[in-house]
Structure 1
């Protein structure tokens, strides 16, 4: 069954006003009168709804649903700016895997640089990708996407986390493979976790020193060296295994 995120509060009858949502629901997906869909409002509760009038884009709310597809911990993925469409891929896949927030920042080894209007357009595009992925994977919320223009602004946002993990390639090369598993086992549901990843060239030694001064803990992600857009997926999957799959 199709699922859509709708801004505002749930009423017995809800009229969709967002033009992009209207186009997707009634032109692309061709919803008809009496068709059912799941709507998720600002309270992040899923509700079964029926199209009562497709011409006015109105739904009738039938019942609340108990489904909750969110990870029991809040995971923020911070990645250095990536080349090409890799950041789009990263946002889509981490949204499917349950990420809470996605950050991009200008790392020392980042080849691309975004600023001003270009940065705003990129952020808007990524937020739309996050929404589509969250709808497809039946999430209860849309991940937040934020791109930092300045490294100083990124660093000033590193407070408030229960753990900060720095995915460091040199740690993996040195055979470090237990820190992440050990630290995740010490955490409890409801905690806030930040993973920091470098761009294609990784995290520079000077960046590592700064991030460690903010409480970051460098970790390896197993014996294989992964691409910049793959490593965050591994990290999120590890978190999901610890908090959702382990008996």
Structure 2
């Protein structure tokens, strides 16, 4: 059975024998909800490549401490994968973030596409972004990821074009594209960007802008996927052809 994973701000300088204090909501959930007890083994991670395994030494109302027995460091995965996710309606946004995190996406970019039904403005934008970030955080712990994904602020089409221009490879999922995703040559390093449109599809002017910026429209297959699942299908197909899934690098 896998050990429970808890997120801490930093594990810099932590070595075997160190005592790490966990506080705040993370500790409250562990102690009050999960009923963490002294003597249990847990894993702490900072989401930036470092993980520490140890025994719970003490618990309090919103705090617990861990005596570290071992520390591991995972190299940053390469190539990195960024998914530009058009805002879906309802809870499909959180579903997309959850599954993208589980398969290893490094950056998730919420995108205000012209045909997106959902709109992020003002207080709603802040709350929606916070939900996406919380979903990514919890999914990363569940997936036991050493490197947690970043959820960026809401991006405009212009900002997505700029991102596409900087990446080593950018693809736009489009049902009318003639190039199969499986036919592309993928980089072994650098950044891969996948753009996923909204329920109503990517508008012609958006597709033209992305193509001009260097993105390549591709299709997954004959089936048309939902916006909340198209990204994870594409990324999974691509990761299987890169060192990310082609080999397993042990932590040290």
TM-score, scaled relative to structure 1: 0.89
Report the equivalent of 2:187.
187
C-alpha distance in 2, partners of 1:245/1:118?
37
How far residue 146 of structure 1 moved from its aligned partner, in angstroms, is 2.0
C-alpha distance in 1, partners of 2:157/2:237?
28
Compute the RMSD of aligned alpha carbons: 2.0
Count of aligned residue pairs for this structure pair: 238
Contact 1:115-1:149 within 8 A present in 2 as well = no
Report the equivalent of 1:226.
225
C-alpha distance in 2, partners of 1:100/1:136?
16
Report the equivalent of 1:60.
67
Which of structure 1's runs of 4+ aligned residues deviate more than 3 A? Answer: 65-68, 149-159, 244-247
Report the equivalent of 1:211.
210
Report the equivalent of 2:112.
106
* Residues 246/54 of structure 1: CA separation in 2 closer, same or farther (3 Å cut): closer
2:149 counterpart of 1:143: yes
C-alpha distance in 1, partners of 2:131/2:241?
32
How far residue 141 of structure 1 moved from its aligned partner, in angstroms, is 1.8
Contact 1:177-1:222 within 8 A present in 2 as well = no
Contact 2:186-2:241 within 8 A present in 1 as well = no
State which of 22, 41, 44 in structure 1 corresponds to 2:46.
41
How far residue 120 of structure 1 moved from its aligned partner, in angstroms, is 1.2
How far residue 81 of structure 1 moved from its aligned partner, in angstroms, is 1.2
TM-score, scaled relative to structure 2: 0.87
C-alpha distance in 1, partners of 2:205/2:6?
44
Q: Which runs of 5+ in 2 are unaligned?
A: 248-252
Report the equivalent of 2:32.
27
Q: Which runs of 5+ in 1 are unaligned?
A: none
